[in-house]
Amino acid sequence: MAGKSQTSAGTSDGLRRLVIVESASKIAKIADYLGPGYRVEASAGHIRDLPQPSQLPEDVKKGPYGKFAVDVENGFDPYYVVDADKRKTVAELKRALKEVDELVLATDRDREGEAIAWHLVQALQPRVPYRRMVFGEITREAIRQAAQEMRDIDDRLVDAQETRRILDRLYGYELSPVLWRKVRAGLSAGRVQSVATRLCVERERERMAFRAATYADVTGRFAPRGEAGEFSARLVQLDGARVATGRDFEDSGELKRSSASAGVAHLDAAAAEALARSLDDAAFAVRSVEEKPYSRRPAAPFITSSLQQEASRKLRLNARATMRAAQRLYEGGYITYMRTDSIQLSAQALAAARAQARELYGPEYVPDGPRAYSSKSKNAQEAHEAIRPAGEVFRTPAQVSGELRGDEFRLYDLIWKRTVASQMHDARGTTATVRLGATSADGRDAEFSASGTIISFRGFLAAYEEGRDEVRDAGADAADTERRLPPLERGSALSAADLAADVHETSPPPRYTEATLVKTLEEKGIGRPSTFASIISTIVDRGYVRYKGSALVPTWLAFAVTRLLEEHFPRLVDYDFTAAMENDLDAISRGEAERVDWLTRFYFGAGGPAGPAGAAPAPGGGPSGGAAEGIKGLADDLGSIDAREISTVPIGEGIVLRVGRYGPYLEGPDADTGELLKASVPEDVAPDEMTVEKARELLVSQSDDDRVLGQDPATGRTVVARVGRYGPYVTELLEDDAPATAVEERAAAKKTAKKAAKVKPRTSSLFKDMSVETVTLEQALALLSLPRVVGTDPESGEEITAQNGRYGPYLKRGTDSRSLASEDQIFDITLAEALAVYAQPKTRRGQVARPPLKELGPDPETGQPIVVKDGRFGPYATDGTTNATLRKDDDPETLTLERAAELLADKRAKGPAPKKAAAKKTAAKKTAPAKKAAAKKTAAKKAAAPAEG
């Protein structure tokens, strides 16, 4: 734990204070700003959490906490433990607490920070008064002001965070087993991640169903006769009927009914080309000129979600990278707190932004009074100010360029520009739209249109312009495009040139990017500013979504999981239901709802644990709104779920895609013979690219690549050789739902009697001197039999196996692996030869062992040569099996054989060190706190009589 202690003297009131922040990177600055009498230490985030049920002490596992580490029958009481990697931190904080008169909890100002402060009190059990200190920026003025305005811990925010944590635990632990049993082992379901995944899947389904439509129009270049000022225009009307654009077509490729009934003219390429030719000698004239004043307001200052969106558009930063850079800027004192949904600026910030805009761009760019922005959000969990440069006077990007680099500088530049621009005048100008037309040689009336905006006063655009997301019809609205039209009057004759058909094709709905997904989640009220980055990271890390450039592409696994949830648990992935849960959590944070009542309704249903429905609605609405059923026991009865059907996607012509235990694969008949073919689906083939033609190509190409070697006499399964992603290999073929063999059933029974036996095809890479064309069935069966048991180490009793791996052939004894010289040794090496390999000093892959410091001779007890080596923790003596660290008085240069043998004998007599798992278990028992309800009462008592500060 990194800390900074000031002098032992107290503060101005004579008290010594311990200040605990979340991040060690804040310590130096905050300690400096607070001055003498303050000692600043860091908790490094959360120190306590709900453990996995398997990590609970044995006596607790058998009780009401055993399933979730939450007692759902008694007020949803959580069982918290100090994280294993935070025990040392907690011990050091307790020692520091003994030397002070007051504890100051200066964790972040959102729900998570409030909860961390509360957990620190529960873990530290301070005997001195404690107070809460919050600040929005790490500047001298903000820190000193916060020290004068300390408060108690806000139990409402703590309740809201605890409710969210328990909610996510209940949701995941009830729903994930459904996915394990019906889709694939090891999957996870999350309250928000499942909804975010569904959004991506629904967009991909739209793309899969999309059929492109072709339409055309005519463009040309026009100019006043005999004058300069050429401009381009597009055909918009033909014989009084509006010419079709991309907006007039359904995703099925058909013209929309409303457009068809309105008589919209749908031109194809040939018709547009013919019209262009018939207009070559036509007399064009201006039919109308319309001018409107143009005004555009600056965007509001950044909140967390808008910062993530804009950083994605302009800086190509993903949400996680954006938040990392923002965190460093905040901790460095460059910006205010970066997790907020408030677009308000403090009076100090308004004055700073206006002064800087006036200084840099001129007084005419700054309105008489500050701009105010309104937000629909009434959440209490976030900071109360937008993200902005820190301080009473903003530092310009030029002033911090010597201190910041890379993403941090670019993000600061973006935040500075947006903040300053938010307090500048509107951009003003004029938008002009001109209509011009002519009669074609074949008598049709053709009308063209052109528009442009003339910016007469740039206003905030001098500092900043907001980015925009991809749209499907990019040419639909050019009103905001700064384009100057020449002076034109109604009736003015125009010359035309370069008249040509312009053919278009409708485009499918664009996939979500991080920016557009965050925007959609925010619009639907799903998640909160501090969670968007982790939501996206989770669905990517868990294999539900992958990146293709900046686009988020759902995997076939996501299709199977989403279909299961939509068909059997639709409420849990309903957008409005999920948003209502977020609103309820906000209501708890405002003290408008009670967490136990809300969790009871969510878990047990509207009737609560007693069973009958009809309980009064929850104070915050949400899950109780018309939903009588809770999520308790979701995995108890899954007989109605057809796992094979859920994981099957029809492609067409009898071909289906299945999501198997080992990835997606195609199954379909051979077009000529009718033989059933199978083929794995490459990762780089997106779902919307899986057409019948693509599927047929994969089935044919992969079936040609398989070389059937014969049948395994022991199992009757077909053995094939093929080339895969990582090179040539052999494997056995089996149906996806094939029954387990007796051997597999016995092996599964050893693992757990509760789990059904699982079938897993044996697979093994070919040796370097083998090829798919020449490998025999005998060789393949030998490879599939690996790993080979070489024998048992007589000293440790552990089994030694020989096998082939990613980095070549190796031996394995427990967790100790040693490389072999050649692949042939896998089948040939004897136990004696293997033990000789283990007797040699271990080296890292690709490294050469360092020579010993000294060779002493054979060990009197084992007969093995004793040498002195330099190790990670200093010099030690070894006989190749036992290692003994030298004592302080043992000089490697003068160490004798007798002394080394004595050290080794002592080490052997002590036996092996106790296993870490046992140590962890013991530690968990010692650190498991009393039930949270009692602890919370104690915290409330201590908070009632804080010291003045």
Contact by Cβ (8 Å): 412, 404: yes
pLDDT for res 23 = 86
Amino acid identity, position 142: A
Sheet containing 676-680, strands listed edge to edge, beginning at the edge strand earlier in sequence: 648-652, 655-660, 663-669, 676-680
Contact by Cβ (8 Å): 593, 587: yes
Type and span of the H or E element at 838: helix 831-839
CA-closest candidate to residue 136, choices 114, 162, 164, 108 = 108
Q: Give just the sign of the alpha carbon dihedral 397, 402, 403, 409.
A: positive
422-434 b/e (C-beta count within 10 Å ≥ 16 → b): bbbbbbebebbbb
Enumerate long-range contacts of 706-711, CB under 8 Å, 24 or more apart: 707/772, 707/773, 709/775, 709/776, 709/777, 709/780, 710/777
Q: pLDDT tens digits, residue range 636-669?
A: 777 788 989 999 999 999 999 999 877 898 989 9
Secondary structure of residue 482 in the 3-state scheme: strand
Give Cβ neighbours of residue 15 (< 8 Å, ≥ 6 apart): 37, 100, 101, 102, 947, 949
pLDDT for res 723 = 76
Contact by Cβ (8 Å): 497, 218: no
CA-closest candidate to residue 310, choices 381, 202, 386, 395 = 386
Question: Beta strand 551-554 with 77-78: parallel, antiparallel or unpaired?
Answer: unpaired
For residue 591, with 0-12 CB atoms within 10 Å meaning exposed, 13-18 middle and 19 or more buried, which class applies? middle
* Token pair recorded at residue 214: 């072709």
Report the chain's terminal Cα–Cα distance, integer Å: 26
According to DSSP, residue 615 is labeled P
According to DSSP, residue 531 is labeled G
Amino acid identity, position 361: Y
CA-closest candidate to residue 324, choices 534, 24, 514 = 534
CA-closest candidate to residue 253, choices 216, 211, 203 = 211
Distinct helix (H) and strand (E) counts, the chain: 28, 34
Question: What dihedral angle (degrees, nearest 10) is formed by the CA atoms of 833, 834, 837, 843?
Answer: 160
Q: Which residues pair with 214 in a beta bridge?
A: 505
Detail the DSSP E strand segments found in 282-340. Answer: 284-296
Active site residues: 337
CA-closest candidate to residue 19, choices 102, 128, 135, 118 = 102
Rounded to an integer, what distance in angstroms lies between the CA atom of residue 248 and that of residue 697? 35
Question: What dihedral angle (degrees, nearest 10) is formed by the CA atoms of 726, 727, 728, 732?
Answer: 10
Packing angle, helices 406-421 and 304-315, rounded to 10: 120
Rounded to an integer, what distance in angstroms lies between the CA atom of residue 179 and that of residue 562? 10
Type and span of the H or E element at 123: helix 111-124
* Token pair recorded at residue 447: 């009308």
Question: Beta strand 102-105 with 445-457: parallel, antiparallel or unpaired?
Answer: unpaired
Q: pLDDT tens digits, residue range 743-759?
A: 444 444 444 434 444 56
Give Cβ neighbours of residue 290 (< 8 Å, ≥ 6 apart): 432, 433, 434
Rounded to an integer, what distance in angstroms lies between the CA atom of residue 643 and that of residue 209? 24
Contact by Cβ (8 Å): 601, 624: yes
Q: Give just the sign of the alpha carbon dihedral 513, 516, 522, 525.
A: negative
pLDDT for res 383 = 53
Rounded to an integer, what distance in angstroms lies between the CA atom of residue 226 and that of residue 233? 18
CA-closest candidate to residue 338, choices 362, 364, 370, 305 = 305
Q: Which residue has the tokens 């907006």?
A: 247
Residue 35 Cα distances to 109, 136, 138, 461, 548, angstroms: 22, 19, 14, 43, 51
Q: Does pTM top 0.75 for this prediction?
A: no
Rounded to an integer, what distance in angstroms lies between the CA atom of residue 298 and that of residue 422? 5
* Token pair recorded at residue 805: 């791996």
Residue 504 CB: number of other CB atoms within 10 A? 17
Question: Beta strand 130-132 with 102-105: parallel, antiparallel or unpaired?
Answer: parallel
Residues of the chain with pLDDT under 50: 2-9, 378-382, 474-480, 611-627, 737-757, 846, 848, 915-949
Q: Which residues pair with 501 in a beta bridge?
A: 218
Amino acid identity, position 372: A
Residue 99 CB: number of other CB atoms within 10 A? 11
Detail the DSSP E strand segments found in 688-846. Answer: 707-711, 718-724, 727-732, 763-765, 788-792, 799-805, 808-813, 816-819
Secondary structure of residue 285 in the 3-state scheme: strand
Give Cβ neighbours of residue 716 (< 8 Å, ≥ 6 apart): none
Q: What is the DSSP string of 692-732?
A: HHHHHHHHHHHHHH-EEEEE-TTT--EEEEEEETTEEEEEE
